[in-house]
């Protein structure tokens, strides 16, 4: 996937809608998240007058290139409109059109099922667009705070972490059996043999957060994908991180599940 932002694995598109609360447009403090079923791309949206174009061909003008044969060369455009003080989305005459995955909070009278190529759409809340076959584009607010909530822990007898426990942090959180060597805040699992001493780390990168593998033996899984050695991926709210697998081939269930929670105001 082309572009200058951060790349990684993609979330299920419904996860965006189920997680995000209704959020009024916040003076352009949004980021764009694009997943084509293979990779995810994310970057903050800058209201500098330049359009962001999602499509299959960078030579045709797409600033975010996706590997989806059902997506047109130039498919979907986003532009900040000062007059309305909001972002606008516009289908660029794509062959398959652009659908809107409307949430229960969005009024069908004001949020159509499909974009009209002749009429730009004012984005006033969290909005997810479906382009081509497997490409989903979400405009979401830049998160102010982040934390993890435990949704499963089969190692509760050897850790202090219980289901429902919330772990807030600011810019960095490391996870593993041992304390962070750099003194960062660390979520420790001292008695869990299937978690490495230094297992993984979440760190703020500009206006978004990234999950980085710390060369863990049993690795970390996000949205069903295991991180490569030393690899990193952008995080999205509602994403589930799993680690502490009993087997290195990941055939067995993981022992600990943590869900990413983000606050936008």
Q: What confidence score (pLDDT) does residue 21 get?
A: 46
**CA pair distance 265, 144, nearest whole angstrom:** 6
Long-range contacts of the stretch 203-208 (C-beta < 8 A, 24+): 203/171, 203/172, 203/173, 204/170, 204/171, 204/172, 205/6, 206/44, 207/31, 207/44, 207/142, 208/6, 208/31, 208/42, 208/43, 208/44, 208/142, 208/143, 208/234, 208/235
Instruction: Match 């405009």 to its residue by tokens.
Output: 139
Q: Strand 166-169's sheet: what is its strand order? A: 166-169, 145-153, 256-263, 240-243, 220-222, 225-226
Q: HSE on the CB side for 12, CA within 13 Å?
A: 10
Q: What confidence score (pLDDT) does residue 255 get?
A: 80
Q: What confidence score (pLDDT) does residue 1 get?
A: 60
Closest CA to 200 of 192, 188, 208: 188
Q: What confidence score (pLDDT) does residue 25 get?
A: 46
User: Phi/psi at 19 (nearest 5 deg)?
Assistant: -90, -50
Question: Burial of 79 by CB count in 10 Å (0-12 exposed, 13-18 middle, 19+ buried)?
Answer: middle
Compute mean pLDDT per 10 residues along the chain, 265 residues long, and list them.
54 51 51 77 72 91 91 94 86 95 77 92 85 86 81 79 89 91 87 87 83 85 80 80 66 71 69
Q: What confidence score (pLDDT) does residue 29 get?
A: 65
- 3-state per-residue secondary structure call for 19-65: HCCCCCCCCCCEEEEEECCCCEEEEECCCCCCCEEEECCCCCCCCEE
Q: What confidence score (pLDDT) does residue 94 get?
A: 96
Does the pTM exceed 0.75? no
**CA pair distance 200, 239, nearest whole angstrom:** 15
Q: Is 160 left (phi over 0), alpha (psi -120 to 50) or beta?
A: alpha
Q: Tokens for 13?
A: 């598109």
């Amino acid at each position: 996937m082309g572009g200058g932002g951060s790349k990684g694995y993609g979330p299920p598109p419904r996860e965006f809608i189920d997680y995000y609360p209704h959020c009024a447009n916040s003076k352009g403090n949004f980021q764009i998240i694009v997943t084509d079923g293979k990779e995810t791309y994310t970057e903050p949206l800058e209201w500098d007058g330049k359009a962001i174009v999602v499509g299959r061909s960078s030579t045709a003008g797409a600033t975010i290139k996706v590997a989806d044969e059902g997506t047109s060369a130039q498919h979907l455009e986003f532009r900040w409109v000062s007059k309305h003080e909001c972002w606008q989305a516009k289908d660029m005459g794509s062959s398959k059109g652009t659908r809107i995955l409307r949430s229960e909070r969005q009024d069908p009278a004001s949020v159509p099922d499909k974009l009209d190529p002749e009429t730009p759409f004012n984005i006033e809340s969290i909005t997810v667009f479906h382009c081509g076959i497997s490409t989903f584009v979400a405009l979401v607010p830049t998160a102010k705070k982040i934390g993890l909530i435990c949704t499963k822990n089969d190692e509760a007898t050897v850790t202090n972490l219980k289901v429902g426990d919330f772990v807030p942090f600011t810019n960095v959180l490391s996870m593993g059996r041992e304390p962070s060597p750099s003194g960062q805040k660390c979520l420790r699992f001292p008695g869990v043999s299937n978690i490495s001493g230094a297992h993984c780390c979440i760190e703020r990168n500009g206006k978004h957060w990234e999950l980085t593998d710390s060369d863990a033996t049993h690795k970390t899984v996000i949205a069903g994908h295991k991180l490569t050695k030393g690899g990193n991926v952008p995080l999205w709210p509602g994403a589930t991180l799993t680690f502490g697998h009993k087997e290195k081939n990941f055939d067995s269930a993981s022992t600990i599940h943590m869900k990413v929670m983000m606050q936008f105001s």
